[in-house]
Amino acid sequence: MFRRKRSTEDFAEEIRSHIELEAEELQREGLSEENARWQARRKFGNVRAAQERFYLHSRWAWLDRLLRDLRIGLHSLLGSPGFTITVILTLALGVGANTAVFSVMNAVMLRSLPVADANRVVYLRMSHPPHGTGTIDSTETFSYATYDALRRQAGALSAVIAYVPLSGNKVGVRYGAEPEEAEGDMVSGTFFSGLRVKLLRGHGFTEQDEKDHAPIAVISYDYWTRRFARKPDGYDPVRQGDRLHDCWNCRRRISRFGDWKINRFLGSIAESSRTQCMGQSVERREDVHGGPDVVVSAADRTTESGSYKGTGRGAVAADLSAGGLHRHRLTFAG
Amino acid sequence: MEAVAFGLTFYPSGRILSGRMSTRENNDERLTLLQGTLDLLILKSLVFGPCHGQGIARSIQAQSEDVFLVEHGSLYVALQRLEEKNWIRAKWGVSENNRRARFYSLTQTGREQLLEKTSQWRRLTRAVGLILDAES
């Protein structure tokens, strides 16, 4: 199929040889040497044109062969559909799997979190915890007391952040008259300051907000866009819906939040590494977490009493050394 | 059938052959023949053994009793084409008078093609002959 192409030099030599042979023959037939040479040349015709045709033809022939090869290839593929399908599927799966792995890697490892010092945010996890200490599981959930102890422990971690999803799925939120659903997390007062996330408008929570159970909500940029069309007014009241929620702080069941002040924040959060936490080995782990729509500070005081059976998870963001910030995800045991 | 090839020109005898040195004034007398025709003539001239381009040109001319005067340059287009189709193959060698020359010889495919093309040609000329000879 892939014969070596004949060089133009080779062809030029053939032409020379041809003309000489012809000239010799003409000489034998009685022409003078000079005349024979001239005649031979004349009979050959335009040497340049012949060379050009040769060149063009070999080019064209190359393309022609290529097309023929393609055609044969396609035909033989069509001739054995089983093989063809297998090959196509193999390639498709291979490409697909690689793309998927890359997407995850890209999200987890290459793209950093939209926080001040993303590579120092870690996610705390307990290894070999005492039996029955977590609310969901012992390794990933922490009691509020543990969280409280962690953040009081100065030194290892510059900020410790905790969070609890308001529900496993979505929570009812009402702005104005119309109730709707949104994803929401309850977070510690250090959430924004700890992550050093800049808010577009308004301000984040403070530790005082946490203590006071201040009725403040911060909404995500996406939610702001979706729900409020990025209206610039910073302090729209958002009403928490009718669903019941547990306050992770005081462990009492909360119904009907009051009006929430809205601030805004950007982004999603993830984390990892391994560190010591309260004398126990804490594993650092990669995890990508899409930011919630609504983040509320601690809780409202208007709570109903009720025992906290804790389905919440918490996040603890911490810093392994001064200056940086790591996020840890801890859950509180009841 | 493939279209008319560039290059190959036949000079009908008569006027031109007041010598081999036909002149260009006879342009209007040039005929271009179908591409397959020259291929057929080349294949035929190689039946008797390997030959170089100049020899082929001469042999076609001589065997047609000088009816066909092949412009030697245009012969090579056909040779190149045939070589690509693997009907003929070429090898550099030495001519009887000690000149280096590229010798062409028929391949097995070429031999088969020659038979096929010959019978095709015969059918064609016969058909044309029938039409032309028909008493109308």
Q: In the prediction, which pLDDT does A259 show? A: 38
The predicted structure's pLDDT at residue B28? 39
Measured between CA atoms, how close is B26 to chain A, in angstroms?
A: 14
Question: CB-based contacts of A217: which residues, under 8 Å, 6+ apart?
Answer: A238, A240, A260, A261, A262, A263, A294, A295, A296, A297
Distance in angstroms (rounded) separating the CA atoms of residues B33 and B10: 8
Residue in chain A nearest B7 by alpha carbon: A50
pTM for this predicted structure:
0.42
Over its C-alpha atoms, chain B yields an Rg (Å, rounded) of 16
- How far apart (Å, rounded) are the C-alpha atoms in residues B52 and B104? 6
More confident residue, A34 or A302: A34
Contact status of A14 with chain B (Cβ, < 8 Å): yes
Contact B101 A46 (CB under 8 A): no
Interval A144-165 mean pLDDT = 75
Q: Does B58 touch chain A (CB under 8 A)?
A: yes
The whole-number pLDDT of residue B7 equals: 39
Mean pLDDT in chain A? Answer: 66
* Angle value at C-alpha B31, between B28 and B37, nearest 5 degrees: 170
Which ranges of B29-84 would DSSP assign to H, the alpha helix? 35-45, 53-63, 72-84
Calpha distance A81→A29 (Å, rounded): 66
State residue B34's pLDDT score.
60
Question: DSSP secondary structure string, B70-107?
Answer: --HHHHHHHHHHHHHTTSEEEEEEE-TTS-EEEEEEE-
Query: How many whole angstroms from its chain centre is CA B12?
Result: 14
- The minimum CA-CA distance between B136 and chain A, rounded to whole Å, is 43
What does the pLDDT read at residue A299?
32
Q: Which residue has the higher pLDDT, B62 or A276?
A: B62
Say which amino acid occupies A233: D
pLDDT in tens, B64-97: 777 777 778 888 888 988 988 899 999 999 888 8
Strand A245-246 versus strand A178-182 pairing type: unpaired
CA–CA distance, A274 with B127 (Å, rounded to integer): 94
Predicted local confidence at residue B18, as pLDDT: 31
The helix/strand/coil state of A260 is: strand
**Residue B10 touches partner A, C-beta closer than 8 Å:** no
Residues of B in contact with A59 (CB under 8 A): none
**pLDDT of A51:** 87
pLDDT digits (tens, 9 = 90+) for A199-218: 776 677 788 777 777 667 77
Average pLDDT (B1-13) is: 38
Cα–Cα distance, B112 to B104 (Å, whole number)? 16
User: Residue A177: its pLDDT value, please?
Assistant: 66
Write phi, then psi, for A232 (nearest 5 degrees): -75, -10
> Measured between alpha carbons, how far is A330 from A176 in angstroms, rounded to an integer?
34
Question: According to the 3-state scheme, what is the secondary structure of A73-137?
Answer: HHHHHHHCHHHHHHHHHHHHHHHHHHHHHHHHHHHHHHCCCCCCCHHHCCCCCECCCCCCCCCCC
Q: Quote the pLDDT of residue B85.
A: 87
A23 and B CB contact within 8 Å: no
Helix (H) or strand (E) holding A207: helix A207-212
pLDDT digits (tens, 9 = 90+) for B108-125: 999 999 999 999 889 988
Q: How far apart are CA A118 and CA A108, in angstroms?
A: 11
Spatial neighbors of B110 by CB under 8 A, at least 6 apart, are: B43, B46, B82, B86, B87, B88
Residue A320 near residue A120 (C-beta atoms within 8 A): yes
Q: Look at residue A110 in the predicted model and tell me its pLDDT.
A: 65
Task: Give pLDDT tens digits for A54-83.
Answer: 888 888 878 888 999 999 999 999 999 999
Distance CA A304, CA A247 (A): 10
Task: Tell me the C-alpha to C-alpha distance, in Å, between residue A129 and each of A141, A276, A278, A330.
Answer: 10, 12, 11, 13
Per-residue pLDDT, A103: 86
Q: What is the amino acid identity at position A43?
A: K
Closest-CA residue of A relative to B77 is A54
Q: Label residue B46 by pLDDT band (50, 70, 90).
A: very high
Q: Measure the CA dihedral B47/B49/B50/B51, to 10°.
A: -80
pLDDT in the model for residue A257: 34
ipTM value for the complex: 0.72
Q: Which of A70, A67, A21 is nearest to A44 (CA)?
A: A21
Q: Report pLDDT for B22.
A: 39
Scan residues 58-77 of A and list those with Cβ closer than 8 Å to B. Answer: 58, 61
Using pLDDT thresholds of 50, 70 and 90, give the confidence band for residue A49. Answer: confident
Share of chain A above pLDDT 90, in %: 12
Q: Which two tokens stand for residue A140?
A: 């990933």
Q: How many CB pairs lie under 8 A apart between chains A and B? A: 67
- Average pLDDT value for residue range A3-15: 81
